[in-house]
Structure 1
Amino acid sequence: MVEELKPSKADPPQCLSLAWSTDGQTLYAGYSDNIIRVWQVSV
């Protein structure tokens, strides 16, 4: 059986915390969906 993909009706995850690495090159964000997202920052 194949089901049609539908957008989720759940609320999008919210950012609950932010932290920078000691060298200032990486930003970490903790979300309400229990996922930590990581960004490399370049200037």
Structure 2
Amino acid sequence: MTVVIWALIGFFSGALPFSVWVGQFAMGTDIRQYGDGNPG
């Protein structure tokens, strides 16, 4: 059961756009507006 929980935690933490959030809070801008629009 714990393997399933850790797999779900890993999946959802990888699916969240942390780079967009960090850019928004650190710089106050949407980093998707620069370059090709890919935050990764």
**TM-score band w.r.t. shorter chain:** under 0.3
More helix by share: 2
TM-score, with structure 1 as normaliser: 0.17
TM-score, with structure 2 as normaliser: 0.17
